[in-house]
Amino acid sequence: MKMMKELTRRVLLLFMGLTVAAQAEVTKAVWGDTSDGTPVEIYTLKSKTLEVRATSYGARIVSIRSPDRDGKMADVVLGYDSLQNYLDDRTHVGTVVGRFGNRIANGSFSIDGKTYHIPLNNGRNALHGGTIGFDRYVWTGHQVPGGVEFTLVSPDGDMGFPGTLTAKVRYTLRNDELRIDYFATTDKPTVVNLTNHSYFNLSGDDRGNILGEVVMLNADRFTPVNSELIPTGEQTAVKGTALDFRHEMAIGSRINDADEQLRLAGGYDHNFILNGAAGQLKLAARVYNPTSGRVLTVRTTEPGVQFYSGNHLDGTFVGRYKTKYVIHSGFCLETQHFPDSPNEPSFPTTLLKLGQELHSTTTFTFTARK
């Protein structure tokens, strides 16, 4: 019995040691101040294979450095060297968008018979929470094992949304996997749709466009959009369309096809309905870069993912290495509930009530093919 207890103790100690070893090292520094003097922090997470930097300004991912098939490191998300660049940015690069990520038609929705109005910032619609979304706030950060957790309290009436919302976003790094956990609670019914808006380029963020990246999306259906990129309410099969990524396909192979959905969006900017149960961690996407060998695998508990091919990047913003971010410089995989869900009863609900807690998880795993 004593020998068994001692063996069990040693196994537990070994397991604990391996767990600690797998966790990332985390460091924190002051990165600068906003225009009103609010200090902004930046956190660096390092594992044996990845380095991730995240800032309290917008709870953004600033950098993800991963190795290619030869072990050479490069940044695989678009980003800037200085805080000032992020203060000036209007592409939502790397940020957590909210209170409601993606579009709300006419910037309005109703809860329990009362209509709420969000400032319009995308034609006649509200995008990513309105004119001052969560990307424009300084979140409160604190270190957690293997990562960092950012917290933001959005007051009742913020951008027209009801309820005081407490949102938390936790980034943790373990080996080759970056995990994002989203949490939210409210003191009155509201709508919430949190996601991360990183632009990926698996060649490296200064090395050309993403049209050669090979994508697989675990989705048999998507939500078609109208001319304002608002879902029509339909849930349409991807089979036979230019949006069929059930098998690996280069982004650029069909992006110029005479497909009405591609014409409306100027490329890919669509919500894909993921196969599998919402609330369970499941495969959402896999992207392979033939040049670098890098592979990005995305898993999520969310019911959908917005695949965006960087159609509106126009060279206005200059990133690291003085790289102009032009059309198709990066792609986004925004795990989410569906756009305009508050106005589409057939879509999975984004309503959060008093006493409930929103919790969703997305993981980004970076590997390489030889």
Catalytic residues: 197, 334
Tokens representing 315? Answer: 């060279």
Per residue, what are the HEC states of 286-343?
A: EEECCCCCEEEEEEECCCEEEEECCCCCCCCCECHHHCECCCCCCEEEEEECCCCHHH
**Closest Cα partner for 294 from 78, 74, 93?**
74
Let me know: does 42 contact 81? Beta carbons within 8 Å. Answer: no
116 - beta bridge partners? 109
Tokens representing 60? Answer: 């953004």
Residue 57's SS3 state is strand
Helix (H) or strand (E) holding 3: helix 2-22
Tokens representing 309? Answer: 């091919």
- How far is CA 14 from each of CA 2, 10, 20, 48, 174, rounded to the nearest angstrom? 18, 6, 10, 19, 17
d(CA 202, CA 185): 35
Write the burial class of residue 122 (CB in 10 Å: 0-12 exposed, 13-18 middle, 19+ buried).
middle
**Closest Cα partner for 153 from 99, 197, 108?**
99
